[in-house]
Amino acid sequence: MVTLVLSMSFFVLSSSVVAPILPLANGDSTSTSDWPMFNANPSHTGVGTGSQILTPKLLWTYNTFAPVVSSPAVVDGVVYIGSDNSDVIALNATSGVQIWNYSITPVFPVYSSPAVDNGVVYVGSMNSNVYALNATNGAQIWSYNTRGPVASSPAVVGGVVYIGSGGGISYIYALNATNGAKLWSYPTSGYIIMSSPAVVGGDVYIGSTKGLTQTHGSVYALNATAGTLLWNYTTNGRVTSSPTVANGVVYVGDADGNVYALDAANGGKLWNYSAGGAVEMSPAVADGWVYAGGSNSMYALNATNGSKLWNYTANLLGVSPAFIGGVVYVGNMTALNATDGVEIWSYDTDKYGSTTASSPAVVNGVIYVGGGYRVYALGNRPAPSTSFLSSNASLVLVGVLVAIVVIVASVVFLFRKRLKTRLPPSLLQNFSSVRQSKFFKENLACKDHRRANYEFA
């Protein structure tokens, strides 16, 4: 009996871990779109499609057991994200159930945000490698050693993976997306590249620190095919912000507290705005406005001349904003009206430790973001089905109820057996004789007759 109960308990626990992968909910009013790389697209505009998320619900959380700095990519109903314990994880976007987990060795944090293209996940690791993984099962396809830590997030365009690395001398790489072969590399003057490349119109734009002291930085524009330098612009502080390119202008921040607008063709400065704190986030650009800020404020700036529309004070810590349907989503997690900067709602994604450094991805009315030791899904869509068959909680409840029934039945069986064993044989024989006697049967029939008359009356 103990063996049976333990077996059933194991089944219940296994069922709660290996839950069914649920399909995406039907009837979603928002348009279907993906968020295949950091800041949504190769331009890094941070703009997605769909309706506003005005009254979000917590749909699910996933425990990574380590801080999450990496930002999610969401493609075909799957969330891809890295964690500081050297894992790259694929989660069902509807239920949060793990589909696969790839543990990178040697073990180093994964700060890089995955990019997904043609069924392949591309991501960097602080162990100096860039990886290509099968998006369906997480199997490694290839890896490339850059000889320096990779905190940069890849952009994948036209069958080429663009990414930065560092460690002594920083390089910008272009790798063949199919086999990982190096197409070209370009050395910068910086110690490490934290910035991620934007790829627009056949050009690559990326930021870097400058010199070993990292007190200054540069923004580079390179030919995407040959890797030749088109121009570079030196800033007053190191550039860990990733450039955003929109309408022929490169928008980027630096550690000295400035937001810059540079001519994408020649690198000439169009304007700059002092945000009052290190600007490590990548700007979102939408509807003629630039949404960017320092470590403690978010600004809406006119994209043409840099004039301020509004600012919102908050601890943002380099989290890049996302713009969907007139709402800006940023930080720990806060929704702001894009017109006036008024807070619509906020949700604490730091409640389980560490500080949010992951930037949100917004797909089909759901915000996916890392915070603390968790990955969160917040949105308008109803929570995953809690039907009898698909709910983990229901599976556990059914298992517990079945176990209780089995235990009770076993106790009753054992009690009756022991009771029968303890009665003297002579008494059992006499009782059997009485039950077979004519007197007993007549009395029983009479009793049934009286009961029937009573019930009829």
Tens of pLDDT along the chain (457 residues) come to 333 333 333 233 333 333 332 232 223 333 348 999 999 999 999 999 878 898 899 999 999 999 999 999 999 999 999 999 999 999 999 999 999 999 999 999 999 999 999 999 999 999 999 999 999 999 999 999 999 999 999 999 999 999 999 877 899 999 999 999 999 999 987 778 999 999 999 999 999 987 656 678 899 999 999 999 999 999 988 899 999 999 999 999 998 899 999 999 999 999 999 988 889 889 999 999 999 987 788 999 999 999 999 999 877 667 899 999 999 998 778 999 999 999 999 998 866 555 567 999 999 999 999 988 999 999 986 655 544 333 344 444 556 666 676 676 666 566 555 545 454 555 445 544 544 545 434 444 444 443 333 333 3
DSSP, res 416: H
Interatomic CA distance for residues 115 and 123, integer angstroms: 7
CA dist 76 → 36, 195, 411 (Å) = 9, 27, 52
- For residue 226, the one-letter residue type is A
Burial of 62 (0-12, 13-18, 19+ CB in 10 A): buried
Going from N- to C-terminal start, the domains of the chain cover 1-22+386-422, 23-379, 425-457
pLDDT tens, 356-406?
679 999 999 999 999 889 999 999 866 555 443 333 444 445 566 666 766
DSSP, res 20: P
- Of the CA atoms within 13 Å of residue 38, those in its CB half-sphere come to 37
pLDDT tens, 95-144?
999 999 999 999 999 999 999 999 999 999 999 999 999 999 999 999 99
The pair of three-digit structure tokens given for residue 399, joined into one six-digit string: 């298992």
DSSP, res 71: -
Interatomic CA distance for residues 150 and 144, integer angstroms: 11
- Phi, then psi, of 263 in degrees rounded to 5: -65, 120
Q: At what angle do helices 425-436 and 438-456 cross, to 10 degrees?
A: 60
Give me the pLDDT at residue 209, please. 84
**At CA 132, angle to CA 354 and CA 188, rounded to 5?**
75
Find all residues with CB under 8 Å of 76, minimum gap 6, and list them: 34
The domain defined by 23-379 folds into Methylamine Dehydrogenase; Chain H (2.130.10)
The per-residue DSSP string of 204-265 comes to EEEEEEEBTT--EEEEEEEETTT--EEEEEEESS---SPPEEETTEEEEE-TTSEEEEEETT
Please give the radius of gyration of the chain, using alpha carbons only, rounded to the nearest integer. 31
